[in-house]
Amino acid sequence: MMDTLAFALFAFVTLASAGGVVLLKDPWHSALMLGVALLSIAVHYVMLAAEFVAMMQVLVYVGGVLILITFAVMLVQRNEPESTSPTDSNADEVVQP
C-alpha cells in the first residue's frame, strides 16, 4: 500500500514538474522544474530497485546536463530595462546607415 502511495506521489511530482517545464515562461524556472522532474525519475528508479541507474540519472542528467543548461540560461538571458518610457530610450540618437 505504501509503495503504491509513494509511486502515485512521485508520479504526480514528475508530471507536474514536466508540465512546469513546458508552461513556465521564465527559462530559469523552467530549468529548475526540469531538475525536479529528473530527480523524481531517479526516485522511480530507486523504487524499482535499480540504484545504479538512479545514481547515473542523478550524476549524468542532474549533475551534468542540468548544470550545463542553467549556465547557458544564465549566460544567454538578457536583462530587460525597468521602465519602458520614451525618455529612457535612445530616441535622441540618430542612426546613420
Task: For residue 35, give the nearest of 51, 10, 58 by alpha carbon.
Answer: 58
Is-above-0.85 flag for pTM?
Answer: no
Burial label, 34 (beta-carbon count in 10 A; 0-12, 13-18, 19+): buried
Torsion of CA 48, 53, 59, 62, to 10 degrees: -50
Averaged pLDDT, groups of 10, the chain, 97 residues long = 94 96 91 93 95 94 88 82 62 63
CATH class of the domain whose range is 2-75: mainly alpha
